[in-house]
Structure 1
Amino acid sequence: MVRGGIHGFLSYGLYVISACVALRIRHWAHSPIIA
């Protein structure tokens, strides 16, 4: 149970991180200056 919970937490964390990165890249692509 613990291992399954940790696996689910990690997969959810990776999903959130990937979503945030995608939003940042999209924002940078639309911004005139790429930092």
Structure 2
Amino acid sequence: DEGGESELLGEDLPLEPSVAKAERSHLIVWQVMYGSE
């Protein structure tokens, strides 16, 4: 499901792939921070 959310972000920002990539990286960091707790 998490992967699906990342794909939705990528599709939501087709004109800004760099932004979509940054958003995915941000989500990964967020998941790691809250996932480790």
Bigger Cα Rg: 1
Matched, 1:16 2:36: no
Query: RCO higher in 1 or 2 (8 Å CA, sep ≥ 6)?
Result: 2
Unaligned regions of 5+ residues in structure 2, if any?
1-14
CA RMSD of aligned residues (A): 1.2
State the percentage of identical aligned residues.
4
Unaligned regions of 5+ residues in structure 1, if any?
24-35
Alpha-carbon deviation of 1:20? Answer: 0.6
Which residue matches 2:9? none
Instruction: Return the letter of the residue paired with 1:5.
Output: V
Q: Write out the 4+ residue segments of structure 1 that deviate beyond 4 Å after TM superposition.
A: none
